[in-house]
A = this chain, B = another copy of it.
Amino acid sequence: MATIYDVAKAAKVSPKTVSRVLNGDAPVGKKTRAAVTAAIAALGYVPSSAARMMRSNKSGLIGLITGAISDQIEPAQPAGLPELLLVRGIQQTIGLTGKTLMIADSGNRSERVPELIKTFLEHRVEGLIYVAPYHQNVRLPPVPDDTPVVLTNCYDDAGTPAVIPDDRRGQHDLVSRLIAAGHQRIAYLTLREDIVATGLRRGGYRDALGEAGIAYDPALLQCGEIGSPETETQVLWTAIDRMLNLDQPPTVFCCGNDRQALKVYGILRSRGLAVPDDISVAGYDNYRVIAETLYPPLTTVELPYTAMGVRAAQRLLDLISGESRNDTGPDVIGGPVYWRQSVTERRPPNVSQLKLVRED
């Protein structure tokens, strides 16, 4: 690969003059500039970022650690792909600044994270973003104080800057909207008990019921992810069966995510029930491949991954430029309800009270 010396020799100038042409940091004579430009093109010269970095001590690199790409822990649950939207938001924001994003993949194996961080530090990244596959509490290995870190879709107990989804408000807004549509008996099939989102969303569900003066009925609440993935359909079938046989059966099933809603569609139809004419269904995530493709399209709440990615990148850039401090804890990001045809509208809602609801 040609160096700046080769270019200098070819253009019959000093290396420093070539450098000036490249960086425009000092005036260069017109003819000289033309000769240098020609030599660069002729030799196919590309400056070495390594050499440049040594001198300037600025790498222009941002490190991103994710498990999104090679999720090996739960290969049977490839629902982790939407978290790629987080990476998209980060990428878009970082790209605008001219910095380069280095993405490393942990395969969701936490023991590999320290070596990834070391690789990033060797490249002298200006900041680090850690992206978790789902909303959770994490503990990151130590990172030097002068390298800012932002957690995304996760948080820690040390108050590290973080960006997380507003699970409580999301479920609250959805249930409020269902109530506004005339639903009173709202069943809720939750995700696994051990994840952070489940507790928060159940809180939002109960808050919304309370605000509307509807009594909370434990018979309408059940975890839909008990046991192994293989038994999931059976668990859902049994839960749905039980609820439909209640004295006052539900008029709508809220599901833990859109994937679960897809399963519920199949189960309800196998029982001869039409969606939404006989029974309504709502999801969570706005996982569009499912929510928009399902027939009829699915009412759901957006898990605002792209917006979270943008915010995470912005926070990191602020930290790098010294505009903000690094102990301000999590930023909570909400997403809108997407109202589609999987839920019946029994009574016109007062839309003005529900600014976050979008009608497709």
Contact = CB atoms under 8 A, between A and B. Distances in A.
B88 A295 contact: no
Contact of A49 (B104, B123, B144): B123
A307 to B, nearest CB: 14
Contact of A124 (B48, B95, B263): B48
A233 interface: yes
Contacts of A124: 1, 48-50
A70 B96 CA distance: 14
Contact of A1 (B1, B46, B146): B146
A271 to B, nearest CB: 11
Contacts of A46: 118, 121-122
Contact of A91 (B69, B102, B287): B69
A48 B123 CA distance: 6
Interface in A68-104: 68-70, 76, 78-79, 81-82, 84, 87-88, 91-92, 95, 100-104
Determine how many copies of this chain the complex contains. Answer: 2
Nearest to A53: B50
Interface residues of A, number: 59
Contacts of A266: 265, 294-296
A259 interface: yes
Contacts of A1: 124, 144, 146
A23 to B, nearest CB: 13
Nearest to A142: B44
A47 B293 contact: no
A102 B102 contact: yes
A227 to B, nearest CB: 16
A290 interface: yes
Contacts of A294: 262, 266
A51 interface: yes
A278 interface: no
28 contacts: A46-B118, A46-B121, A48-B122, A49-B122, A49-B123, A50-B51, A50-B54, A54-B54, A68-B84, A76-B292, A81-B81, A88-B105, A91-B105, A92-B107, A95-B105, A100-B102, A101-B103, A259-B293, A262-B262, A262-B290, A263-B293, A265-B266, A266-B294, A266-B295, A266-B296, A269-B269, A270-B274, A289-B289
- Ranked nearest first, the 3 interchain pairs of A and B with the lowest CB-CB distance are A266-B295, A49-B122, A103-B103
Interface of A: 1, 44, 46-51, 53-54, 59, 68-70, 76, 78-79, 81-82, 84, 87-88, 91-92, 95, 100-105, 107, 118-119, 121-124, 144, 146, 233, 259, 262-263, 265-267, 269-270, 274, 287-290, 292-296
Given A50-B124, A76-B292, A287-B289, 8 more contacts: A44-B144, A69-B87, A81-B81, A102-B102, A263-B293, A265-B266, A270-B274, A289-B289
